[in-house]
Amino acid sequence: MKIHSFVTDTQNPQRRGWQIGERWAEEIRHTVSLYLDFFPRVGIDSQQVRALGEAALGALEAWSPDLASEVAATAVGAQLPVWQLASLNARTEILATMPASNEGECSTAVYAPAGARKPLTMQTWDWHDSLAPHGLMLRLTARLGHTVKLFTEFGMLGKIGVNSAGLGLHFNILHHESDHAAAGVPVHAIARRLLEEATSVDEAVALARSARVSASTVLTVVSCKDSDPRAASIELSPAGTAVVVPREDGWLLHTNHFLDRELSKGECMEESSTTRLRLEHLQQVASRMVCEDLRARAAAMCGVEGGAAPVCFYPDLTQPDTERWETLLTVGIDTENGTLEYVAGNPDALSRNGFMRF
């Protein structure tokens, strides 16, 4: 994956959307075409995709008119029908209508002990390699004045990021038996609004709870402020929202299954998934990840297995692209300085080759 960057200072969501759409029209159109081709090949026909995309945009407009207008303006700038960009932003809601995959995406480790010590975070993003040939690091100015830096797929509102209030956000997909086809607010839009508006973990939790969702996701938020809680994994599902806080030692670890006792009863991740293996691995290496140097932290995340660690995915080219997974991004969030430190690759690659800062 090739990662690009873009800075926009306008606080007007329509103007921002048009800027992004016009500047990155080729990449956005390409990403849209990849997903629109992908959906039917996993059993979701084009008419259903359009209906779900439009319904999700309607849910977004009711919950956040600004973000809905940004989606529409981005489509205009990229010269795309609005329903197509709406469907891209609702890709998690659309994919939630099919049976759960036997794999997941993402392993997140956050160290946020009480006190003045700087939080330490790291996440992998594992996804279909064929769907994300390009990614975007975006810096924007929110309507409330916060600076937001985030990583996302082209044309999508958000994913992983940090704001100038010292709040960082990691993103993992989940699957629950309550996931349904009555499209709710896109979870990628929820992540974006939290980054634009929340200044604390409590504010992020309250804002996330206000959204009606149709697909499950966990948003792990962390603050540079010494607060209680200082970090939380917000597990979202149509059945309800739960908040998981750090262990007594300050660690908060999450992969792709529910940790909340009640919501885990509706867990739909296949037993063949590596999600539990990856969580167990993180639990084993967490104590060695307490280091401010990101390269050392990435090496510790892999442990003695290095690039063969379960948190490192490589695409199996003998499989169809609908069954291939790759660790496309490894990223740490510096909440004190409001920066993202990343590499387009797995944590082993970051530990060996270094990283970029945005």
Return the pLDDT at 23: 98
The predicted structure's pLDDT at residue 269: 85
- Domain CATH code at residue 218: 3.60.60.10
pLDDT of residue 195: 98
Does residue 230 sit within a domain? yes
Task: Give the number of other Cβ atoms within 10 Å of residue 326's Cβ.
Answer: 20
Residues in the chain: 358
Instruction: Please check whether residue 5 is in contact with residue 12, taking contact to mean a CB–CB distance below 8 angstroms.
Output: no
Spell out the per-residue pLDDT of the chain, length 358, in tens: 999 999 999 999 999 999 999 999 999 999 999 999 999 999 999 999 999 999 999 999 999 999 999 999 999 999 999 999 999 999 999 999 986 555 567 999 999 999 889 999 999 999 999 999 999 999 999 999 999 999 999 999 999 999 999 999 999 999 999 999 999 999 999 999 999 999 999 999 999 999 999 999 999 999 999 999 999 999 999 999 999 999 999 999 999 999 999 999 999 888 778 999 999 999 999 999 999 999 999 999 999 999 999 999 999 999 999 989 999 999 999 999 999 999 999 999 999 999 999 9
Closest CA to 201 of 241, 160, 235, 243: 243
**pLDDT of amino acid 270:** 80
Beta-carbon neighbour count of residue 292 at 10 Å?
A: 11
166: left (phi over 0), alpha (psi -120 to 50) or beta: left
Find out whether 5 and 358 touch, Cβ atoms under 8 Å. yes
Asked if residue 284 belongs to a domain, the reply is yes
Token pair recorded at residue 98: 């099919």
- Contact in structure between 298 and 350 (CB atoms under 8 Å): yes
* Residue 167 lies inside a defined structural domain of this protein: yes
Q: Is 43 helix (H, G, I), strand (E, B) or coil?
A: coil
Residue 55 is assigned to a structural domain of this protein: no
Q: What's the pLDDT at 105?
A: 78
- Residue by residue, DSSP assigns 295-347 as HHHHHHHHGGGGGGSTT-----TTS-GGG--EEEEEEEEETTTTEEEEESS-H
344 inside domain? yes
Whether residue 85 lies inside any domain: the answer is no
Q: What share of the chain is helix, strand, coil (3-state, %, to 5)?
A: 40, 25, 35
- Ranges of beta strands (E only) in 208-303 are 217-223, 231-237, 240-244, 251-254
Provide the pLDDT for residue 100.
Answer: 58
Q: How far is CA 152 from CA 64, 166, 205, 258, in A?
A: 19, 19, 21, 23
What integer pLDDT is reported at residue 103 of this predicted model? 58
Q: Tokens 């060996």 correspond to what residue?
A: 352
Q: Considering the domain boundaries, does residue 16 fall inside one?
A: no
Q: How many domains does the chain have?
A: 1
Domain that holds residue 300: 107-357
DSSP string, 51-107: HHHHHHHHHHHHH-HHHHHHHHHHHHHTT--HHHHHHHHTHHHHHTTSPPPS----E
